[in-house]
Structure 1
Amino acid sequence: MKRTKTSKAWMREHINDPYVKLAKQEGYRSRAAFKLLDIDERDNLFRSGMVVVDLGATPGGWSQVVAQKVGSSGKVIALDILEMSPPAGVTFIQGDFREDAVLAQLADALQGKQVDLVISDMSPNISGIGLSDQARSMHLVELAMDFAVNYLKPEGVFLAKVFQGVGFEEFVQTMRANFKQVQTRKPKASRDRSSELYLLGKELKGESA
């Protein structure tokens, strides 16, 4: 298939991207690893021994970072509908995290432990139709938040990518209804022209809040 001008421009940008080059140098599977590292530097997300669930983990850049940060005493469980060879120290479950069979595998992997941190860098396959892409991205982050609310320990933390656009403000309000602290982050590795932001939710409010 002949490449369009847009795809050629993207490829040029990708090849020349300093974070792409740095990811190769440092052995990360994607430039997205530096987004998580940047947020962690500011917010101290990780500590040794944490239990972390990475939703939509493929290709594994975030899981790599987490495994390094929580160490051998921690537990990192990555989920994705796409196939992935898990990074060292990561348990991978392939499937849709809304399905009972996948959740049963997750329960087995957790071995009764509560989750300290849920992270999601998910985004839909882009169709180029703005409203449709935005709606699908909002749907994904809503699913991720529902998962986090159900699995996090009370003092747990939720970090997720979200795109500014239709539904964004409403989602922020929903985050605030579920978490005592909600902050926005735009890591340095996030391209300026991208509408992506990361929302950080801390401390579940619980039923009585």
Structure 2
Amino acid sequence: MKTIVTFLVTLAFTICSLSAQEKTMKYEASKKHPFGQYNPEAPKQLQDYKELIGIAKCESVNRKPDQSWAKPIKMTWKWKYIMNGKAVQDETLKEDGGHSGSIRQFSKDSLRWNVHYYSSRGVSSTLPVWNGNKSKDGKIVLYRKQNAPNGTEGFYRLTFYDISKEGYKWVGEWVDTTEKIVFPTWKISCIKED
């Protein structure tokens, strides 16, 4: 009898524990929501990325050392909500074996995105960070200070644009501090799958 009581108490505790975990982590990825969900307690700006959440098939093209454009590389770009729906993570899987990703958090204090980037091409002890916001015209624009090879002060600017349920485009470009000089170095075009 004592064994049955112990079993029933353990079973009840396990069920209550799983139920509590389900409630506290209900925005995490699941069978029903494989890319997680937006948590309504998170900053509303997390929804800036809602059209990108899921999987897209893309083509990525970079400039070669001679400044001409290289051949496009096929790429998969995966997006999901993380940290129980309070941040966004993306991951790129490129046909050439170069993979990368970002953790995207919106700061209520600075009212801007902080995007931490990492790559399989090099392991860094400090992740580079881009900051920015969604513009009134629907673009997501992020900046990181970076001087041009000749020493001119400026930024490396990342822009998501033409964002829709069907897909999106992205461009990485060096800009001077006035943003009058613009030099694109990387372009990506994506079509959504999920």
TM-score range (shorter-chain normalised) is under 0.3
TM-score by length of 2: 0.27
- Of Structure 1 and Structure 2, the greater strand share is in 2
- TM-score relative to the length of structure 1: 0.26
Q: As a proportion of its length, which structure holds more helix? A: 1
Larger radius of gyration: 2
